[in-house]
Structure 1
Amino acid sequence: MPKSMTGYAKLQTLLDEYKISCEVKTLNSKGLSVDVSLPYFLNSKELDVISIVKRYISRGKVNVRLYVKFLRPVQVSFDFSMVRTYFEILNEVRENLSIPSTVDLSHLLNFRDAFQFEFSNDDIEHAWASAREVLEETLKQVVEERAKEGQKLTEDLKSMTKRMKQIVNAISEKADQIPKYIADRIRKNAREILPDDVELNKELFENAVALIADRADIREEVVRLQSHLTRIEELLESDQPVGDLLNFISQEISREFNTILSKSRLLEISNLALEGKYIASQFKEQIANIE
């Protein structure tokens, strides 16, 4: 069954050395886009995160926030030269602007780039191994949420598809009445225009009915609609991403209903086609949420 593109999960794990939390949020999108936020010492793993996300999600806007807090002491170096430069600049600003307060340590500690956390490659790989497990568990939860939401959407889409099939079947039944309706209209119009003593030429009359009936023939549109709706029913049972294909088919369905409306000679068919077009538009809106 198709999945929704919207989902959210947050997972937090406490290990011996780390406190790791991961938050994943997914939204609707035409394709797949992944936005990643990592601790700076894991910035080199951004492509790995994107690759992992692609294994779980094929469509949608995905926001990944991964946090790693060390629970053991970490070696830190301090850039005194940089802080000394900041101190001199702040003093210069204070003097030029005649600011009475002095520069103190709290001001200098705001410059986070003065602190350098030193991690070895082993430290980074070890932290990443733990963070990756949390990331994958979070993604699994997101997929489950998307599946639950997708089930609700699919039920709505199935209901709409069933109604459209009923409409198409009703149009198909009434389409057989079109030639008789056209013949009656031509005969009635001719009687209103021609004198009573003038008889209709049978051959000309039949040719006129055949020509107009051919232009008003909607059997091809009906057959295509039935085929599209059957295909939709198949796709709604699939576990694969089908949002793009469903969107394309919904456009074709709207086009067929529009053609029927332009050809329609019977008010009943026009009313049915209008309802079908309206449901098709609702169907298309719901598909925007399907992966």
Structure 2
Amino acid sequence: MALSSMTGFARSHGAVGNYVWSWEIKSVNAKGLDFRLRMPPGWDAVEVPARKYASEALVRGTVYATLTAERKGVAPVVNVNEPVLSAVLATLKSLQGRLDAAPPTLDGILALKGVIEVGETQESDDDRRAAEAAFSKGFEQAMTQLVAVRRGEGEALGRILGDRLSEIASLAARADAAPGRKAEAVKARLAAQIAALVETGSRFDPDRLHQEALMLAARADIREELDRLGAHVAQARKLLSDGGAVGRRLDFLAQELNRESNTLTAKSNDVELTNIGLELKTVVEQFREQVQNLE
């Protein structure tokens, strides 16, 4: 399966009957799938299939989908609200002779709120179902575009993450080959430190110091960290190769890579190893940041 990013944008539009419609869908990073739908009122029949299709097409991301629909070319329908008109006329009749005012005019009566209602021609059931079907199909078209955009970005992310993993493997190999971690170099540094301590006074036991130095050297060995880094890099490469929704697992591996690079740097007793460890931490952080964009 292909890798997918969690960010993308897609749009579809069209016309059906008297409706002109458009969908806009955008997605951003999220821990899970959060689908947020905005539609004009009265189109609930479109919401259920849209949510179902989105949940089948996507695994992670906050998705914002917006439908706009406008009915055009429909002649307005003017209706007289008979109950309101009757009430107005009855009130006017009851006031005749009680007020010194000009008699009401027809346009004045019709201008009263609620007497005249202007609406649109009622659409048929067939027209309504045709519009609902067109809106649902348009959503699927936009969602298909969004998936394609996310996969295109996912492919680019896969190449970037592969480069970061190669850098991590290269830095681990440099740390493994660093002269400062060779047994001879460690032995020479410890011997110099022991000699310096012995020369400070007669109360130091050379044998005891030698034993303590050997224990410190064992604790400072980074072989375990290097092996784990290699295993994590191999597993991450396999996940990238397999594809699919691997963002969560790669995020976990990024945390493990960070843990090993921190430990390697903390154990370092050599300037070159320390510099390699710091560079390793930087590359691991870059890897982790890019992983946050993967589905």
TM-score (norm 2): 0.77
* 2-structure distance, mates of 1:63, 1:104: 47
Report the counterpart of residue 91 of structure 1 in structure 2.
none
Deviation at residue 117 of structure 1 after TM alignment: 8.0
Consecutive unaligned residues in structure 2, runs of 5 or more:
86-107
Report the counterpart of residue 258 of structure 1 in structure 2.
262
Deviation at residue 150 of structure 1 after TM alignment: 1.8
CA 1:189–1:57 in 2, change beyond 3 Å: closer, same or farther?
same
Report the counterpart of residue 172 of structure 2 in structure 1.
168
Summarize deviations over 1:234-277 as a string: whole Å, max 9, x none. 12223311111111111111111111111111221111111010
Deviation at residue 129 of structure 1 after TM alignment: 1.6
* 2-structure distance, mates of 1:166, 1:83: 84
In the comparison of the two structures, how many residue pairs are matched? Answer: 269
* 1-structure distance, mates of 2:283, 2:109: 68
Report the counterpart of residue 177 of structure 1 in structure 2.
181
CA 1:290–1:117 in 2, change beyond 3 Å: closer, same or farther?
farther
Deviation at residue 46 of structure 1 after TM alignment: 2.3
Give the 3-state SS of the residue equivalent to 2:23 in structure 1. strand
* 2-structure distance, mates of 1:244, 1:81: 64
Query: Which has more radius of gyration?
Result: 2
2:139 maps to 1:135: yes
Summarize deviations over 1:180-231 as a string: whole Å, max 9, x none. 3332223212322334998x98864653343112111211111111111111
CA 1:74–1:145 in 2, change beyond 3 Å: closer, same or farther?
farther
Give the 3-state SS of the residue equivalent to 1:29 in structure 2. coil
* 2-structure distance, mates of 1:187, 1:139: 68
Report the counterpart of residue 37 of structure 2 in structure 1.
36
Which residue, out of 237, 241, 248, partners 1:244?
248
* 2-structure distance, mates of 1:270, 1:106: 85
Summarize deviations over 1:163-187 as a string: whole Å, max 9, x none. 0110011112238835433322232
Report the counterpart of residue 11 of structure 1 in structure 2.
12
CA 1:117–1:32 in 2, change beyond 3 Å: closer, same or farther?
farther
Deviation at residue 70 of structure 1 after TM alignment: 4.1
* 2-structure distance, mates of 1:154, 1:83: 68
Report the counterpart of residue 100 of structure 1 in structure 2.
none
Consecutive unaligned residues in structure 1, runs of 5 or more:
85-102
CA 1:139–1:80 in 2, change beyond 3 Å: closer, same or farther?
same
Tell me which moved more, 268-277 or 233-242. Answer: 233-242
Q: Is the 8 A contact 2:198 2:206 kept in 1?
A: no
CA 1:189–1:41 in 2, change beyond 3 Å: closer, same or farther?
same
* 2-structure distance, mates of 1:288, 1:245: 11
Deviation at residue 52 of structure 1 after TM alignment: 1.1
CA 1:6–1:69 in 2, change beyond 3 Å: closer, same or farther?
same
CA 1:205–1:116 in 2, change beyond 3 Å: closer, same or farther?
same
* 2-structure distance, mates of 1:224, 1:204: 33
Deviation at residue 39 of structure 1 after TM alignment: 2.5
After superposition, the CA RMSD in angstroms is: 3.6
TM-score (norm 1): 0.78
Q: Is the 8 A contact 2:24 2:66 kept in 1?
A: yes
Report the counterpart of residue 233 of structure 1 in structure 2.
237
Q: Is the 8 A contact 2:179 2:185 kept in 1?
A: no
Q: Is the 8 A contact 2:6 2:60 kept in 1?
A: yes
Q: Is the 8 A contact 1:5 1:289 kept in 2?
A: yes
Which residue, out of 147, 151, 154, partners 1:147?
151
Q: Is the 8 A contact 1:161 1:229 kept in 2?
A: yes
